[in-house]
Amino acid sequence: MLQGDQDLLPERFGDLGLLPLADRAVSLGGKRRVLVTSAIVVGAVVALALGLATVPIVFFTAAVLLIAFKSVPLRDAYSTIDAPILLMLAALIPISDTLRTTGTTDLLASSLAQVGSGLPGWAALALIVATTMALTPFLNNAATVLVMAPIAAGFATKLGYKPDAFLMACAIGAASDFLTPIGHQCNTLVMGPGGYRFSDYPRLGAPLTLLVLLISVPMLILIWPLK
């Protein structure tokens, strides 16, 4: 049983990881300025859509505005920073440069060309999607596209196909990491607050990954013909 200031109890509940059971008048999360928060979020999305600034600048500015207008208390902003996740993301960034500088990308391109030389077009395209999906857990999605795009273009050229569908296959594969918590920032950031374990991602992500693979390949061929 807790007793205290009614305005401070919601924040204390959050700090202690408790739920109010007796007094339902106590709301979790404290008061929020809904209109101000909505306006800032909509403004960030519009700025990105119009290309007014890059993604880091837009979202950093939005975060500063949320704190400045007290939509998010500064204490909450500090408490939600997960240092281990930030360190893990920072450690993964150099991997993409390592793959390029060590010649690993050239080795992958040669291996894919040998494997796909006897495959039909749809199977070769599916191979690119699957390979990109397999690579993106170890890189961020942008780095994965940078690594796989030249491989996919060269792969398509060697097989006598147009590169358009293969390049789009890279984009789809890089954005479709549902098997690990480290392949995309969103997967990582929700792991702690959601109470997820590593094993939850492949268990729930495998059916979704298979669904993306089955749908994306025929749609890519339909929109961007291989020949």
Would you tell me how many other CB atoms lie within 10 Å of the CB of residue 33?
Answer: 14
Rounded Cα distance, 9 and 78, in Å: 19
- pLDDT attached to residue 215: 93
Spans of all domains in the chain = 9-79, 83-223
Q: How large a percentage of the chain has pLDDT more than 70?
A: 81
In the prediction, which pLDDT does 147 show?
77
DSSP 8-state code for residue 26: P
Overall average pLDDT of the 52-76 stretch: 83
Question: Other CB atoms closer than 10 Å to residue 13's CB: what's the count?
Answer: 18
What mean pLDDT, rounded, does the chain reach? 79
pLDDT of 111 reads: 76
Residue 203 has pLDDT above 50, yes or no: yes
Cβ neighbours for 211, distance < 8 A, ≥ 6 positions apart = none
pLDDT band at 109 (very low <50, low <70, confident <90, very high): low
Q: Model confidence over 70-80: pLDDT tens digits?
A: 777 777 777 66
Each residue of 163-190: pLDDT tens digit?
899 999 999 998 888 888 776 767 777 7
Q: How far is CA 70 from the centre of its chain?
A: 28
121 pLDDT higher than 80: yes
State residue 169's pLDDT score.
92
For the ranges 41-55, 99-113, 185-199, 208-222, the lowest mean pLDDT is seen at: 99-113
Whether residue 146 has pLDDT greater than 80:
no
Residues 6+ apart with CB under 8 A from 130: 173, 213
Q: What's residue 222's pLDDT?
A: 92
pLDDT (0 to 100) of residue 75: 73
For residue 29, the model assigns a pLDDT of 47
Q: C-alpha angle 149/154/156, rounded to 5°?
A: 95
Q: Is the pLDDT of residue 26 over 60?
A: no
